[in-house]
Amino acid sequence: MLEIIVCFKHVIDETELRIDRASNKINFEGAKTKISDDDKNVIEEAVRIKEKNGGSITALCVGAADAKKSAKEALAMGCDRARLVSDPAFSDEDAIATAYVLSQAIKKIGKYDLVLTSTGTTDSYTGAVGPALGEFLDLPQLTYASKIVISGNKLTVDRLLEEGVETVEAESPALITVSREINQPRFPTLLQIMGAGKKELLEWNAAAIGVDIGIVGKGGSRVEVTALNLPKSSRKRVIYEGKPEDSAKQLAEALIKEGAVK
Amino acid sequence: MNFDFSDEQKLLLRVVDETCRKIRPIEDRFYLAREFNDQVLPIFKEAHLLGLPISRNYGEGQGADALTYALVLERIGQEGTGIRTFFSGHVSLGQSTLQKWGTDDQRERYLPKTTSGEMIMAFGLTEPTAGSDPASMKTNFEERGDGYYLNGQKAWISNGSIADLAIVFAYPEGKTEGMCAFLVETKAEGFSAEPIKHKLGLPTSDTGLLYFTDCKVPKENMLGPPGKGLSVAYTALMSGRLSVAAGSVGVLQDCLDESVRYAKERVQHKKKIGKHQLVQREIAKISLDLESSRMMTYRAATLKVQSDQSPNNYELRSEADWWIAQAKYYSANASFTGADRALQVFGANGFSFENRPARHLADTRACRIYEGTDQILEQKIAIKLLGTEFEAYS
């Protein structure tokens, strides 16, 4: 039976953030949380794979206890069980440390054929967790998947690249990072939502998955976020006066010169 | 009464919230163009919300209780009364009434298609000359051969010109008693409809005029027992009024959110207007009205849940009916006043439909009329206390 592990992140809803233009800072106060948008595509793909090939899905999240509601949503979308890993020791850690924690949790889960992650999360979008997790688990990794076909233990994946699509093959077990273009996530029905409460949701801490505390959290991270600012954008405030046909021409020329239009 | 929501209700509301965020920019566009929003159906269909309180035995029915459904309508109401009105017509007045009064055959024939959105429902009681006094309506039917033939007109029918199936009330020809209800497929010969134009509000919601000219309804499509039309109508109005109350709570929430946001951003006299105490008063009053409306509506919905579980308990149904009337009256009025207060917080900017308070002000005016005018509900509330011998129209 195909065993799928889906990694998802519980993030702050970016549409809820307020911007303080004076200080150029982001105000996180009172913002709601959710499953990272791209991770919903990953969960959806896992459910579609299961619907087509059979198997079972374990949803895995490293995050605060607050992530429980997102775990329930993943269960309502069709995952069979969820594992939530949280520990104060993990706070402010970088992508590599997160990948290490995920790898330890996956080792505790044990058997798996497929590990699915998104190509990046909507909050920090480092894009590093998936590949780093593949390394920690010593798995072949197929990134930016826009199509996944499974035949026995052979995986065929279309990789969505900037200039085209590359088709690659690998044998399971493997790690696939899934692009958001792959599908449109479903909404669960009320019946599925009611059913989610009956599915197994286990919470693990660092000790439960045998994490080496020295290489997680802020202390164990090699990357530190020192500031979070908005990009500064200033307007040019150019006005082309005169006859409309002349000023339109001037505007078009200026836009072409700036590279805004080709 | 305990209003702590279950994890399942919270998760459902997350799904509804996501759907509402999707519809917001679309509704913005349709509102400013003053056009019917034809995207409400596909977007809410995708979220399995078109048959939420209908039994799971029928298609996409989800089996939600009245309180859960009210919570969902509250969230939908934040997006605008036009969108919520679609649900009131299609689900609260249409499908819930069909489920309650329909035969097994009628439910099986229609509810799978209505819960999936393949068929849209409407509820046709009001006529050009019969509003608060439905007993004076003129639409009539004649039984001939294998069917009933309807003649007459209905007005101000939500979803009226887009519906595929309408619940229509009529008297036997030549009589003013023995009202019957019918399930009328709008593709039937002798049926026609048109949207009402030049409305004060609800531009994104369809409000129709229905015409019946010897419109044939098959025998198996009478809804409820013969002569029980008024009972069918009154139970429908319980669901309909609760939907208006819940939607109005959502409107108040949106008015509050918008006012707080604007008061924190807008600067006058060199400080944010939220620092002005007279602006604070408007915000405080919207909040008070919101929470009062919310508590009344939740109480009414909880009583409806209990009444639905004990359908033969007349006393409980009467209590639920009374609370629903109070919640509808209070919330509809509070949302209209709340929209006016929010508009005032916005100042001149509030006077434009580009900002949400103006839309709420125009749209919620309908809530004080449909499903029982303010005046009818005031009487209903008082009669429960005075006794039926004080009824004005008995």
pLDDT in tens, A55-67: 999 999 998 778 9
Q: Which is nearest to B179 in space by CA: B188, B170, B191, B187?
A: B170
From chain A, the residues in CB contact with B52 under 8 A are: 190
When mean pLDDT is compared over A124-138, A180-194, B288-302, the highest value belongs to B288-302
A14 in a structural domain: yes
> Does B144 lie at the interface with A, CB-CB under 8 angstroms?
no
Cβ atoms within 10 Å of B32's Cβ, excluding its own: 14
Q: Are residues A162 and A249 in the same domain?
A: no
Alpha carbon separation from B262 to B77, B255, B388 (Å, rounded): 20, 10, 48
> Does B8 lie at the interface with A, CB-CB under 8 angstroms?
yes
Q: Are residues A192 and A244 in the same domain?
A: no
Nearest CA in chain B to A76: B11
Please name the amino acid found at residue B1.
M
Of B10, B62, B68, the CB nearest to A191: B62
- Answer whether A76 sits within 8 Å of B21, measured CB to CB: no
Which tens digits make up the pLDDT trace of A113-138?
999 999 988 777 788 899 999 999 99
What six digits make up the tokens of A78? 């069709």
d(CA A189, CA A206): 34
Q: Which is nearest to A76 in space by CA: B70, B66, B48, B45?
A: B48
A227 in a structural domain: no
Q: Are residues A94 and A64 in the same domain?
A: yes
φ, ψ dihedrals at B238, nearest 5°: -60, -50
Interface A–B counts its CB contacts (< 8 A) at 44
What six digits make up the tokens of A122? 């909507």
> Does B19 lie at the interface with A, CB-CB under 8 angstroms?
yes
CATH at A95: 3.40.50.620
Chain A interface residues (partner B, CB cutoff 8 A): 15, 34, 69, 72-73, 76, 187-191, 193-194, 196-197
- Answer whether B11 sits within 8 Å of A193, measured CB to CB: yes
Answer whether residue A27 shows pLDDT above 90. no
Please name the amino acid found at residue A138.
D
Q: Which is nearest to A8 in space by CA: A34, A35, A33?
A: A35
Q: Are residues A209 and A253 in the same domain?
A: no
Q: Are residues A189 and A238 in the same domain?
A: no
The sign of the torsion formed by the CA atoms of A178, A179, A180, A183 equals negative
Give the pLDDT of residue A186: 92
d(CA B364, CA B359): 8
Q: Which is nearest to B350 in space by CA: B295, B290, B279?
A: B279
A226 in a structural domain: no
- Answer whether A191 sits within 8 Å of B18, measured CB to CB: no
* Whether the Cβ atoms of residue A178 and residue A41 lie closer than 8 Å to each other: yes
Please name the amino acid found at residue B108.
E
Q: Are residues A246 and A181 in the same domain?
A: no
From chain B, the residues in CB contact with A15 under 8 A are: 21
Answer whether residue B41 shows pLDDT above 90. yes
- The arithmetic mean of pLDDT across residues B75-84, rounded, is 98
A189 in a structural domain: yes
Of B11, B52, B68, the CB nearest to A69: B11
pLDDT band of residue B394 (cuts 50, 70, 90) is low
**Which residues make beta-bridge pairs with A18?**
A27
Strands A174-178 and A141-151: parallel
pLDDT band of residue A30 (cuts 50, 70, 90) is confident
Residue B143 annotated as catalytic: no
| DSSP string across A50-98 | HHHH--EEEEEEES-GGGHHHHHHHHHHT-SEEEEE--GGGTT--HHHH
* Whether the Cβ atoms of residue A73 and residue A37 lie closer than 8 Å to each other: no
The sign of the torsion formed by the CA atoms of B273, B279, B285, B288 equals positive
Q: Domains in chain B and their CATH numbers?
A: 7-120 (1.10.540.10), 122-223 (2.40.110.10), 229-390 (1.20.140.10)
- Answer whether B8 sits within 8 Å of A187, measured CB to CB: no
A225 in a structural domain: no
- Answer whether A190 sits within 8 Å of B7, measured CB to CB: no
Report helix, strand or coil for B176. coil
d(CA B63, CA B124): 25
Give the pLDDT of residue B198: 95
User: How buried is B262 (Cβ within 10 angstroms: 0-12 exposed, 13-18 middle, 19+ buried)?
Assistant: buried
What six digits make up the tokens of B254? 């949106």
Give the pLDDT of residue A77: 96
* Whether the Cβ atoms of residue B390 and residue B383 lie closer than 8 Å to each other: yes
From chain A, the residues in CB contact with B11 under 8 A are: 69, 72-73, 76, 188, 193, 196
A60 in a structural domain: yes
Give the pLDDT of residue B335: 98
**Structural domain for A32, as ranges:** 3-220
> Where in chain B does DSSP place strands (E)?
121-124, 140-144, 147-158, 165-172, 180-185, 191-195, 207-218, 222-223, 267-268, 271-272
Alpha carbon separation from B63 to A208, A216, B71, B195, B247 (Å, rounded): 40, 46, 14, 32, 20
**Which residues make beta-bridge pairs with B168?**
B124, B182
d(CA B139, CA B151): 6
Give the pLDDT of residue B202: 98
φ, ψ dihedrals at A95, nearest 5°: -65, -40
From chain B, the residues in CB contact with A72 under 8 A are: 7, 11
CA dihedral B40, B41, B45, B49 (to 10 degrees): 70
User: How buried is A15 (Cβ within 10 angstroms: 0-12 exposed, 13-18 middle, 19+ buried)?
Assistant: exposed
Please name the amino acid found at residue B379.
Q
Q: Are residues A200 and A108 in the same domain?
A: yes
- Answer whether B7 sits within 8 Å of A15, measured CB to CB: no
From chain A, the residues in CB contact with B19 under 8 A are: 187
State the pTM of this model. 0.88
- Answer whether A187 sits within 8 Å of B52, measured CB to CB: no
Nearest CA in chain A to B18: A187
Give the pLDDT of residue A131: 95
Residues making up chain B, counted from first to last = 394
Helices B229-265 and B277-309: crossing angle, nearest 10°? 150
Type and span of the H or E element at B285 = helix B277-309
Q: Are residues A251 and A191 in the same domain?
A: no
Question: Prior bond to A140 cis, omega within 30?
Answer: no
Of A15, A34, A190, the CB nearest to B12: A190
Longest dimension (CA), chain B: 79
Which tens digits make up the pLDDT trace of B128-180?
999 998 889 999 999 999 899 999 999 999 999 999 999 999 999 999 999 99
- CA of A73, closest CA in chain B: separation in Å? 7
Type and span of the H or E element at A156 = strand A154-161
- Quick one: how far is CA B351 from the chain centroid? 26
Which residue in B74, B127, B258, B371 is the catalytic one? B371
Place of tokens 């990046």: A120
- CA of B135, closest CA in chain A: separation in Å? 39
- CA of B50, closest CA in chain A: separation in Å? 11
Number of domains in chain A: 2
Q: Are residues A70 and A130 in the same domain?
A: yes
- The arithmetic mean of pLDDT across residues B58-67, rounded, is 96
d(CA B54, CA B97): 10
Which tens digits make up the pLDDT trace of B8-40?
999 999 999 999 999 999 999 999 999 999 999
User: How buried is A177 (Cβ within 10 angstroms: 0-12 exposed, 13-18 middle, 19+ buried)?
Assistant: buried
d(CA B155, CA B150): 15
Answer whether residue A144 shows pLDDT above 90. yes
User: What rounded mean pLDDT belongs to chain A?
Assistant: 91
Q: Which is nearest to A203 in space by CA: A71, A73, A100, A56?
A: A71
- Quick one: how far is CA A227 from the chain centroid? 22
A145 in a structural domain: yes
Nearest CA in chain A to B72: A190
Q: Are residues A100 and A22 in the same domain?
A: yes
Which tens digits make up the pLDDT trace of A194-231?
999 899 999 999 999 999 998 888 888 888 888 877 77
* Whether the Cβ atoms of residue A2 and residue A55 lie closer than 8 Å to each other: yes
Q: Are residues A149 and A261 in the same domain?
A: no
Q: Are residues A197 and A95 in the same domain?
A: yes
